[in-house]
Chain A
């Protein structure tokens, strides 16, 4: 299934990103948006109509023209989905709110071809996410002709899954590589260089992705020379890999690991801000970051990394001060309090390579100030996420990797939905205020003003609300073997491989 519109996982996007392009792209090595299929875009005064000037020299890989009609055909296709398509079209629902059958709640309001190479997109209100969200792989531009021929929207719910139309296995974009084939028996996906690409042609004629679930097998395949690189090497291997002549490319951290509290749960002591403050002072995050996280990881001062606009540079991390923690606990009458604290098993995420070790470090610190910790664990897909969402733990470790460069994509995701968030802020007197503030900050049209509003919110969160404790930002890495050049590590893990060359003589 290679139709990026219905994809939800990074592994699929890694492939589709080489085949497709969006109206806006991402500057390699950063999270900033840059022109891609649109050369420029301008909003009207209230930020509700965005006019995109398109490149006029682009063809889809099936030879059809990329133009304003194609842009509007794409948006209308994404907007107008059947019931199954609305559920599978995760990212559209996530950034646009809803689909055509519920048009009034949708951010997207329409698309008009105002010229051959000029398209105007209307949205229901200004937001920090637009047009940045158009850099999402899911919202890439696909060939309207190929989509029609392959019945791209013919998705159907069947039993517990979705069946996809032919198009999903024959996707057509404008990018530097075309889809070759998927070999299920070998677990390989082969892409071929698009020789008609309008930009600089790809450095390799064929790009093969191989599915190797086990991390140590990936490393061994690289050592044996049968692959040229792999993603997410274990931080403990970084040095060894470098010593063997490979190069470990470290991405800028675009994620957050946090300790979440369920403020609306059974443990009423957590509702007391002084208790939460005590917990923050109890945790030695410096040591945690130094001993458990990869080189380059930093202690977090707020719920977003410093590359996102709206980051508040004046915030300081909560000081590690177990005596202060004990004092605050005593003052709040919460000495010897009990905490149901959970971590996930059978998983490693870019922001937490080894959840159990992180949990152990946190637990030791909490016990040192007299808190009784009741451990809970579950596997990632085997109940952990469900239990966090259902509020079954007092405290838990979880994190987030940004989808695109927007403060709302971080703190808005955490606290913007008052009724449903893992932190249970609806039970707090400030919960509604925070959700409202987030929404109004997100709707500020002027970028500087918007950033200032988010900085203010970050300060409020960390100084007054304390819904959880941001722990760290970890840089995930990828590794390439000798002879491979031109890989630009992306904080969004959105590497593009057209710039890569391989010297097979190495």
Chain B
């Protein structure tokens, strides 16, 4: 088992190394760059050259990459040029991460809390108005782009009806203690209920927008899985034995239908970051997605590199954990 994990970790290092090369070369192959973003209209060839030399951008790309690598193994990923000038790029990622975790968590809770029960009900009442309505709703949820959903939610709930805040993570002037950087949790930990409630209000709309697609997917998978299970002999047997609906639902149908749903939830978590870029931008919700969008627009290379590599490392790690779990369940995998 240990050998298996070590081998996989080594593989992961190679993957990340290759990826870092690709990201590095890709960014520098794009037109424009940080120098344009910094100088704007004031750029002349002379001023560009001076700034490029100061930032080491005049060196051949392989040389630049080796320098990056040399610093990176020492834990230094460079400093941000535009997102938060002067701040360590990795620190920018760490600063922004809690917001994205909080947002993704709430979005996922919403998607699961709505998707599974609705999927179950729709399957049990196949062909009814409830079922048809829910199916159409979920189709729309998948089809409509996240930024449009976000825009509509914002327009009605925040602007027209003034029920929830328009953007941001916390009301201006609210002086709250920060511990984890996840504001709702921080409010709970410090028993500053006002701060927690304020942060929660700021979370509702972005979380709803971000939850639309995972909700639709979870709903449809649940519905399909439940329908499959309902056709199984053991459900019919259970019904024939006269078991109560509650027992059939919890012991037989849901439990058996949950396997594909859980797998789907896992996959959806991976897709959340892509949705977060758009949602965070629309709601000025200062998380990793918002930083990624800003860094890309302003060609903040160090921050872009850190964010893309961090996303890759997280993805590879999650895969590794899944594989380890499989290996524990099925010993044959280890020897392959």
A357 and B260 CA atoms in complex are apart in Å by 50
Q: Are B45 and A389 in contact, CB atoms less than 8 angstroms apart? A: yes
- Measured between C-beta atoms, what is the minimum distance from A493 to chain B in Å? 14
Q: How far is the CA of A383 from the CA of B54 in the complex (A)?
A: 20
For the complex, count residues of B whose C-beta is within 8 A of A.
69
Whether B167 lies near A1 (C-beta < 8 A) is: no
A185 to B87, CA, bound (A): 14
Residues of B within 8 A of A381 (CB): 32-33, 36-37, 297-299
- Please measure, in the bound complex, the distance between the C-alpha atom of A359 and the C-alpha atom of B232, giving whole angstroms: 65
**Total A residues in contact with B, Cβ cutoff 8 Å:** 58
Known: A220-B159, A379-B32. A163 touches B86 (CB 8 A): yes
- Per the bound structure, the CA–CA distance linking A400 and B302 in Å amounts to 29
A160 in contact with B78 (CB, 8 Å): yes
Of the candidate stretches A211-219, A270-278, A304-312, A332-340, the one touching chain B is: A211-219
Partner of B302, one of A93, A157, A159, A206: A159
Contact of A186 among B37, B172, B283 (CB under 8 A): B172
Residue of A nearest to B285 (CB): A187
Whether a CB of chain B sits under 8 angstroms from the CB of A385 is: yes
Task: Tell me which residues across on chain B come within 8 A of A468, comparing CB atoms.
Answer: none
How far apart are A63's CB and chain B's nearest CB, in angstroms? Answer: 26
Q: Is A45 an interface residue (CB 8 A)?
A: no
A90 contacts across to B, CB distance below 8 A: 38-39, 42
Are the C-beta atoms of A210 and B32 separated by less than 8 Å? no
- Interface flag for A457 (CB, 8 Å): no
Q: Given the known inter-chain contacts A159-B56, A400-B41, please indicate yes or no for A382 contacting B281, CB distance below 8 A.
A: no
User: Which of B34, B98, B155, B167 is within 8 Å of A160, CB to CB?
Assistant: B34
Are B168's CB and A210's CB within 8 A?
A: yes
Residues of chain A within 8 A of B44, CB atoms compared: 389, 417, 420-421
Which residue in chain A gives the minimum CB-CB distance to B154? A220
**CB < 8 Å neighbour of B95 from A185, A221, A400:** A185
Q: Is the CB of A210 within 8 A of B299?
A: no
List chain A residues, Cβ under 8 A from B104.
none
Q: CB of A149 within 8 A of chain B? A: no
> Residues 37-64 of chain B: 1 if any A CB is under 8 Å from the residue's CB, otherwise 0?
1111111111110110011110000000
A8 at the interface (CB under 8 A from B): yes
Contacts of A1 in B (CB 8 A): 85-86
A208 at the interface (CB under 8 A from B): yes
Residue B158, interface by CB 8 Å: yes
CB distance from B79 to the nearest CB of A (A): 4
Say yes or no: A87-B50 contact (C-beta < 8 A), given A382-B30, A385-B43.
yes
A168-B86, A184-B286, A220-B166 known; A160-B301 Cβ under 8 A: yes
- In the bound complex, do residue B284 and residue A158 qualify as a contact, i.e. CB atoms below 8 Å apart? no
B40 and A385 form a contact (CB under 8 A) = yes
Q: Are B42 and A94 in contact (CB under 8 A)?
A: yes
Which residues in window 138-153 of B have CB below 8 A to A?
Answer: none
| Assembly CA distance A283 to B36 (angstroms) | 29
Q: Is the CB of A87 within 8 A of B294?
A: no
How far, in angstroms, from A227 to B171 measured CA to CA in the complex? Answer: 10
Chain A residues with CB below 8 A from B196, complex form: none
B76 near A159: Cβ-Cβ < 8 Å? yes
The reply to whether B32 and A382 contact each other, CB–CB distance below 8 Å, is yes
Cβ < 8 Å to B, chain A residues 58-109: 83-84, 87, 90, 93-94
B20 within 8 A of A: no
- Which residues of A400-418 are within 8 A (CB) of B? 400-401, 413, 417
> Would you give the 0/1 interface string for A220-254, flagging 1 where the beta carbon is closer than 8 Å to chain B?
11011011000000000000000000000000000
Complex CA distance for A386 and B107, rounded to whole angstroms: 41
Report chain A residues within 8 Å CB of B36: 380-386
Give chain A nearest CB distance to B232 CB in angstroms: 50
A378 at the interface (CB under 8 A from B): yes
Is A226 touching B166 in the complex (CB atoms < 8 A)? yes
Q: Which residues from B are CB-within-8-Å of A384?
A: 32, 36
Distance between Cα atoms of A163 and B71 in the complex (Å) = 15
CB distance from B317 to the nearest CB of A (A): 25
Is B162 interfacial (CB 8 A cutoff)? Answer: yes
Contacts of A226 in B (CB 8 A): 165-166, 171-172
Choice from A158, A346, A398 contacting B78 with Cβ under 8 Å:
A158
Given contacts A161-B85, A217-B282, A389-B44, contact A185 B167 (CB under 8 A): no
Contact A159 B68 (CB under 8 A): yes
B115–chain A nearest beta-carbon distance, Å: 29
Q: Are B286 and A224 in contact (CB under 8 A)?
A: no
Contact B45 A210 (CB under 8 A): no
Contact status of A221 and B294, CB under 8 A, knowing A159-B302, A188-B172, A379-B32: no
A164 at the interface (CB under 8 A from B): yes
Complex interface: chain B residues within 8 A of A213 (CB): 281, 284, 294
Contacts of A223 in B (CB 8 A): 159
Contact B181 A220 (CB under 8 A): no
| Residue A162, interface by CB 8 Å | yes
Shortest A356–chain B CB gap in Å is: 17
Q: Which of B32, B47, B167, B171 contacts A220 (CB 8 A)?
A: B167
CB distance from B151 to the nearest CB of A (A): 8
User: Contact at A161–B286, with CB atoms within 8 Å?
Assistant: no
Which listed residue, A87, A168, A206, A221, touches B167 by the CB 8 Å rule? A221
From A83, A379, A390, residue with most partner B Cβ within 10 Å = A379
Enumerate chain A residues within 8 angstroms of B31, measured Cβ to Cβ: 378, 382-383, 386-387
Residues in A with CB closer than 8 Å to B281 are: 213-214
Nearest-neighbour CB distance to chain B for A150, whole angstroms, equals 13
With A185-B99, A381-B37, A420-B45 already in contact, the answer to whether A160 and B57 are too (CB < 8 A) is: yes
**Chain B residue contacts of A208, Cβ below 8 A:** 172-173
Chain B min CB distance to A159 (Å): 3
Contacts of A210 in B (CB 8 A): 168, 172
Mark out the residues of chain B between 233 and 272 whose CB falls within 8 Å of any chain A CB in the assembled complex: none
Cα of A413 to Cα of B78 in the assembled complex, Å: 33
Q: Is A470's beta carbon under 8 Å from chain B?
A: no
Asked whether, in the complex, the Cβ of B51 is within 8 Å of the Cβ of A87, the reply is yes
A212's closest neighbor in chain B, by CB? B284
**Given the interface contacts A185-B178, A378-B31, A389-B45, does A157 sit within 8 Å of B78 by beta carbon?**
no
> Considering only CB atoms, which chain B residue lies closest to A206 in the complex?
B173
> Given A186-B170, A220-B167, A389-B43, are A158 and B286 neighbors across the interface (CB < 8 Å)?
no
Given contacts A226-B166, A389-B48, 13 further A-B contacts (CB under 8 A): A84-B54, A90-B39, A93-B47, A160-B81, A162-B81, A163-B79, A163-B88, A184-B286, A212-B168, A385-B36, A385-B43, A413-B42, A420-B46
Chain A to chain B contacts (Cβ below 8 Å), 6 pairs: A8-B40, A87-B54, A217-B166, A378-B31, A385-B36, A385-B43
By a beta-carbon cutoff of 8 Å, the part of chain A in contact with chain B is: 1, 8-9, 83-84, 87, 90, 93-94, 157-164, 168, 184-188, 206, 208, 210-214, 217, 220-221, 223-224, 226-227, 346, 378-387, 389-390, 398-401, 413, 417, 420-421
